[in-house]
Amino acid sequence: MFSDITDQLGIDFVHQAGLSDEKQLPETMGAGAALCDLDGDGFLDLYLVQSGPLPVGGARNRVAPNQLWLGDGQGGFRDVTATSGDAAHRGYGMGVACADVNGDEHLDLYVTNLGPDVLLLGDGTGSFQDATESAGIADSRWTAGASFFDADADGDQDLYVTAYLDYDLEDPAYCGERKPGWRSYCHPDRYSGIQDRFWRNLGDGTFEDATISAGLADSHGKGLGVCASDFDGDGDLDLYVANDSVENRLWINSGEGTFTDGTLLAGTGVNGMGLTEAGMGLATGDLDGDGRIDIYVTNFDDESNTLYHNDGDGMFTDITASAGLEAPSRLPVGFGVIAADLDGDLDLDLAVANGHIIDNIQLYNDGKSWAQEALLFQNDGRGHFRDVSSESGALAQTPRVGRGLYAGDLDMDGDLDLVTTENNGRLRVLRNDGPGENPVVLHGLPPQSLVRFHLASGQVLTREVGPQVSYLGATSAIARCNSSEVNKIEITTPGGLTSVHPTPVSPGRYRAGLKAGVLSLQSIP
Amino acid sequence: MHWLLFSLIFMIQASQQAEMLWRSGERVKSLELMAVELARTPDDERLRTRIVLGELEIGRFQSALNFCNGLPEEQRGLQGRALYFLSRYDEALNFLGTMEAAELLMRAEALRSLGRFAELEGHLDVMREVLGRDNTDVRLLEAQELLRTGSDERAVPLLREVLAARPLEPQALFGLGRALLRLGEREEGLEILEHHRKLLPLLDQLDFARRGVALAPLGGPNQVALADALRALLPYDQGLLNQSRAAYDLGFQLATPGEVPPVALRCARFQWETLGDREAATELLSAAIDRRDDVRLRVRLADYFDQLGRKQLALDQLLMAANARPNDAAIKARIARLREEK
């Protein structure tokens, strides 16, 4: 059960899409957010991407920058945009990724835009400096999702950025019926996809475009979501890319940061019916407790969101319907999604933010609407889900043009709260009103590590450290387990090294240290 | 008596007007007129059925549902269809019939989406009885159930059967490729999946074009977009040739004067390149020029005449094109070349 506490918190961020009579497709995207500890005080902060009027004709009259709100760990936030340096960026924003790219132990940000992307280096106080040019990154196209990950296991964070469409703002096509009020946003099928980019971190603060040399030349999908995880269980990080209305891609890592297309073998490019879907957001996790990382993709209406079960042999199976996830997601357009234990019962539940892209969709299909209710699915522990949206309180109470959805413990009461972004609407913070949990929380692990919590009951919970990308965003890289009876913890870092903490761990927050196969835990007060 | 007669005439006129509006593409207005008429005669089951069918056709499923109360018993399946398209599958199952193929398929899809696989199995028996054991849709559903339950070996021959009837069926191609991979037939499995991958964008294009036609069936460019999408699939299924040809013909007929040039160019290319009917291509372009004089049409016609060896006719067309665009370098070059050749 969630309560909307946005007003209480005083967070007044309203996304501006720059809606125009020309129905320019970028207006439909909404924008993402990062829910990470950006000032290093141990509490989650919010970096909110803004869009604004479109840069038509080369000019832009917008004033609203991206915003940074620092959290106090009690559920309170203060707006520090004015002192955040270049983080107050004023591009037409899309998404954000978050990681320490230069090894100074402060989180940095990469912001994707309709226009030049920016790399923002953090100094650990909540202030950021634009290092795009000095880092050798240059991308002025329409980019969308981004993920930092250590592709070649050399200890630094490489970057994959999805590029969306070859779109001309100066010449927007007319779509829909030629009647007043009926002009509609065009389908992405009208436009060509453009190549994603893979930026290899050279370890000295600079990046090189390694798209081709890494084997990723054939990445001309209409990319929105991207996440990194060890999907084939060989110890390195693979990539899954959600493309809009064309085949999704699974890129299998050789272990050295080069990739081959594993989509056909895995069966994750299309749904179980062999049809392409309009991939938007992504969540990964071990949803059925078998120790392998499954993939959940949000899609367009008249499609369902799709759950790909990891069969463990490099192959996946679409089990959406048998998992109870198909029918409820057929009507809405899914965007942000999280896989997290929202009710503290040791399995991963799913929450999805929905909202159509076409603001006058009801003219074309009177059963549909621009604003739509979110969905909440409760896991029964075996990977079968029940739609509990009607019991979720503020999460699914009000139809919204939902886009991003991110989870984190904002008030440090042990359970996971939610943050959701809305296209051309207000950011919402939803407090989890559950009884509160007493989890084991591990900080300081390398992103995308895999953690196995061995419980006294014999059950083993496999958890990804993250970050989870949801839709165009990022959450904190931490691992959580809602059990008070953790007997042993195993951690496998990208590159395949496993460290073990062999003795019981009490609930609490810990900073993890990895050395010579041993995991040490230092309690965080 | 006079009032009754007047009323009857009015009803007939309103009904005729509504049908005319429907045929002319003013489908929303037509339905609005019918709705007004239904408000006067709420027991008119035929009119109610017509409205529900119309609303379903233009994608106003909620509106269709709103008119369902009062449908004759034998048309209750339409309520099921409206609910199905609104993704209200549980409710749809209460109304979808078991005699019509479309509703049988919707019922199967609703059961599958809801994960009610035991009932789906029973429903498959009904489908076998009504549609026949050899029906391709029945075979495909049977195969999908086998795939879902891990009976890949039994699914494979069924899927091959489906593909013999429908070579472009993406579900069968994907299912077969996956099943073969799981059975260890890696080479053939990947080959089929590669083929499926090549087809997918073309099938998506076809789906997109069909949606455009559904939205505005009287739009010439929409029909030609459908024809183009069908044409792109011809290397994989020659059986689509007649559909493609019919859509080009209809598109050309429906094109407004402003739409004629781009539409005619695509129709001519189909005649010339696909059908190899070169005379028909030149005749089509000439007819198009009669409807809308356009430089692009004349240049294309000139190129075709040139390739047919009718150099003078080609030159005539280019000279007329040059009148319209005297500074066009490409036209000038063509003229120069033709004059030289002559």
pLDDT in tens, B258-311: 999 999 999 999 999 999 999 999 999 999 999 999 999 999 999 999 999 999
Region B139-153 average pLDDT: 97
Q: Does the distance separating the beta carbons of B200 and A276 come in below 8 Å?
A: yes
* C-alpha to C-alpha distance for B7 and A223, rounded to whole angstroms: 60
> Do B181 and A331 lie within an 8 Å CB cutoff?
no
- Cα–Cα distance, A64 to B333 (Å, whole number): 54
Cross-sheet strand order for the sheet of A428-432 = A2-4, A428-432, A417-422, A402-408
Task: For residues A296-303, give the mean pLDDT.
Answer: 96
Residue B61 · residue A365 · CB < 8 Å? yes
Q: Is the pLDDT of residue A40 over 90?
A: yes
As a dihedral over the C-alpha atoms of residue A209, residue A215, residue A220, residue A223, rounded to 10 degrees, the angle is -70
Is residue A216 scored above 90 in pLDDT? yes
Verify cis geometry, omega within 30 degrees of 0, for the bond prior to A467: yes
* Torsion angle, alpha carbons of B58, B61, B62, B64, to 10: 80
* Cβ contacts of B258 within 8 Å, gap of 6 or more: B292
Q: Compute the count of residue pairs across chains A and B with CB atoms less than 8 Å apart.
A: 85
Q: Tokens 């029940």 — which residue?
A: A386
pLDDT classification of A338: cutoffs 50, 70, 90: very high
The answer to whether the Cβ–Cβ distance between B87 and A366 falls below 8 Å is no
Tens-place pLDDT, residues A67-114: 999 999 888 999 999 999 999 999 999 999 999 999 999 999 999 999
Total residues found in chain B within this entry: 342
Which residue from A187, A270, A331 is facing B87, i.e. has the nearest CB? A331
Is residue B21 scored above 70 in pLDDT? yes
Q: State the pLDDT at residue B6.
A: 57
Q: Could you tell me where the DSSP H helices lie in B183-294? A: 186-215, 220-232, 241-254, 260-269, 278-291
pLDDT tens, A398-421?
999 999 999 999 999 999 999 999
Token pair 């391709």 is found at B136
pLDDT at B12 over 80: no
Instruction: Collect all residues with Cβ–Cβ distance below 8 Å to A151 and sequence separation of at least 6.
Output: A158, A160, A198, A200, A214, A228, A236, A237, A253, A257
Residue A442: per-residue pLDDT: 96
pLDDT band at B46 (very low <50, low <70, confident <90, very high): very high
Tell me the average pLDDT across A280-298: 98
The whole-angstrom separation of Cα A120 and Cα A109 is 5
Q: How far apart are CA B83 and CA B110, in angstroms?
A: 10
Decide: A470 and A336 in contact? Cβ < 8 Å. Answer: yes
Show Cβ contacts of residue B306 under 8 Å, excluding neighbours closer than 6 positions: B314, B334, B338
pLDDT grade for B138, boundaries at 50, 70 and 90: very high
In A196-291 the beta strands, taken as DSSP E runs, fall at: 197-201, 207-209, 223-229, 238-243, 249-253, 259-261, 282-285
Average pLDDT, chain A: 95
Percentage of chain A with pLDDT > 90? 92
Instruction: Indicate the pairing of strand A440-443 with strand A508-515.
Output: parallel
What pLDDT was estimated at residue B32? Answer: 93
Q: Which two tokens stand for residue B328?
A: 């066009």
For the record, the structure tokens of B245 come out as: 């040809």
Residue A60 has pLDDT above 70, yes or no: no
* Measured distance CA(B211)–CA(B222) in Å, rounded: 9
Rounded mean pLDDT of B80-100? 96
Residue in A closest to B198 by C-alpha: A247
For residue A229, what are the contacts with CB-CB under 8 A and spacing of at least 6? A237, A238, A240, A284, A293, A448, A464
Q: At what angle do helices B61-68 and B76-85 cross, to 10 degrees?
A: 150
Q: Which of B89, B177, B204 sits opposite A327 (nearest CB)?
A: B89
Q: Are residues A280 and A335 in contact, defined by beta-carbon separation less than 8 angstroms?
A: yes
Length of chain A: 525
CB contact under 8 A, A246 and B201: yes
The whole-number pLDDT of residue B211 equals 83
Considering CB atoms only, which of B60, B114, B215 is closest to A366? B60
- Residue B87 contacts A, CB cutoff 8 Å: yes
Smallest Cα distance from B4 to chain A, Å: 37
Closest among B293, B246, B250, B285 to B268, alpha carbons compared: B285
Residues in chain A closer than 8 A to B201 (CB atoms): 246
* Any B CB within 8 A of A524 CB: no
Q: What is the rounded average pLDDT for all residues in chain B? A: 93
pLDDT at res. B208: 87
Amino acid at A292: R
Residues 6+ apart with CB under 8 A from A138: A116, A132
Question: What is the token pair recorded at A282?
Answer: 């992504």
B1 pLDDT higher than 80:
no
pLDDT at B59: 86
CB contact under 8 A, B113 and A327: yes
Residue range A271-279: average pLDDT? 96
Confidence label for B223 from pLDDT (cuts 50, 70 and 90): very high
* Identity at A421, one-letter amino acid code: T
- pLDDT score for A249: 98
Measured distance CA(B265)–CA(B260) in Å, rounded? 8
Residues A419-471: tens digit of each pLDDT: 999 999 999 999 999 877 789 999 999 999 999 999 999 999 999 999 999 99
What pLDDT does residue B9 have?
A: 60
Structure tokens at A80: 């520090």
The answer to whether B7 and B13 are in contact (CB under 8 A) is no
- The label of the residue with tokens 């900080």 reads A443
Using an 8 Å CB-CB cutoff, list chain B residues near A189: 204-205, 208
User: Quick check: helix, strand or coil at residue A105?
Assistant: coil
